[in-house]
A and B are shown apart, each in its own frame.
Chain A
């Protein structure tokens, strides 16, 4: 099991702003045409009364780092992404974001022993209300394991 001693470890929460320009660039990068991400006038008149952030925007936040956990810089494979929201994310709000290594397990694959790391990231309002939770499964191949000597 990779990084077993870090399972359950958290980062220190980091304060993040859902910044309007960052949302506009993100919506443009993913070619999402919804005016609710970029057009203030449309957004103010909508039920939200405010610009929204796209559902995968939380990828851009700083979640801090788990002390001592240094992943290899190359060769990791993103196996799965999951996000769940309590409510839509609004432009202009501030969130406290943190991450934890939730799980680590091994599986024998066709090309050798694969390591799976599950990271959970959360965003909470400054009042401590949960806004979203993400889970990412990162796959570490045997070649990468050999490279880091574990």
Chain B
């Protein structure tokens, strides 16, 4: 029997709590992505930009929401991913990521689950968006 996920509209993914954002994570992400914008790395550059401290790359938050789907890659993949940024993420911030199924479609390639996803720090949503996760036809 396949261990493929089977979701229905309204189902929630278990919310995940991530380790606090630290400088090393942002340095590694800068190196891995090539985004060396100094407001993510250098305190003085953040201060010059009028920020209380360095801020995380928005794409770190996007990737973090993507982690919700890593356990299911044998059964499908992220076909579409959209994220709107609504708040800055600072050093020490602890993010929670989660999502729920908005709708289910049945294209010929399989079953496409439209998730609404979010990243929050306490009650502040820092990013929200949609993920289209396609479960392959042979896994249904």
Determine the distance from Cα of A31 to Cα of B16 in the docked complex, in whole angstroms.
13
Which A residues are in CB contact (< 8 Å) with B110?
Answer: none
Which partner residue on chain A sits nearest B138 by CB separation? A47
Determine the distance from Cα of A36 to Cα of B74 in the docked complex, in whole angstroms.
8
Number of A-B contacts (CB under 8 A): 97
User: Does any Cβ of A come within 8 Å of B58's Cβ?
Assistant: yes
Query: From residue A64, how far is it (CB to closest CB) to chain B in Å?
Result: 14
Given contacts A80-B84, A81-B59, A82-B81, contact A46 B31 (CB under 8 A): no
Which A residues are in CB contact (< 8 Å) with B73?
Answer: 34, 36, 52
Which A residues are in CB contact (< 8 Å) with B9?
Answer: none
Q: Which of B18, B74, B80 contacts A84 (CB 8 A)?
A: B80
Which A residues are in CB contact (< 8 Å) with B1?
Answer: none
Interface size on A, residues (CB 8 A): 31
Which partner residue on chain A sits nearest B132 by CB separation? A84
* Contact (Cβ within 8 A) B32 A26: yes
User: Does any Cβ of A come within 8 Å of B83's Cβ?
Assistant: yes
Which A residues are in CB contact (< 8 Å) with B64?
Answer: 30
Give the 5 A-B residue pairs with the shortest CB-CB distance, closest first.
A30-B63, A29-B32, A29-B28, A34-B70, A82-B82
**Which of A30, A54, A82 neighbours the largest number of chain B CB atoms within 10 Å of its CB?**
A30
* Contact (Cβ within 8 A) A30 B31: no
Given contacts A29-B25, A75-B49, contact A56 B32 (CB under 8 A): no
Which A residues are in CB contact (< 8 Å) with B74?
Answer: 36, 46-47
* Contact (Cβ within 8 A) B49 A74: yes
Which B residues are in CB contact (< 8 Å) with A105?
Answer: none
User: Does any Cβ of B come within 8 Å of A107's Cβ?
Assistant: no
Given contacts A25-B31, A28-B28, contact A74 B81 (CB under 8 A): no
User: Does any Cβ of A come within 8 Å of B102's Cβ?
Assistant: no
Query: From residue B58, how far is it (CB to closest CB) to chain A in Å?
Result: 4
Determine the distance from Cα of A33 to Cα of B19 in the docked complex, in whole angstroms.
14
Interface string of A93-130 (1 = CB under 8 A from B): 00000000000000000000000000000000000000
Given contacts A34-B73, A54-B66, A79-B84, contact A85 B78 (CB under 8 A): yes
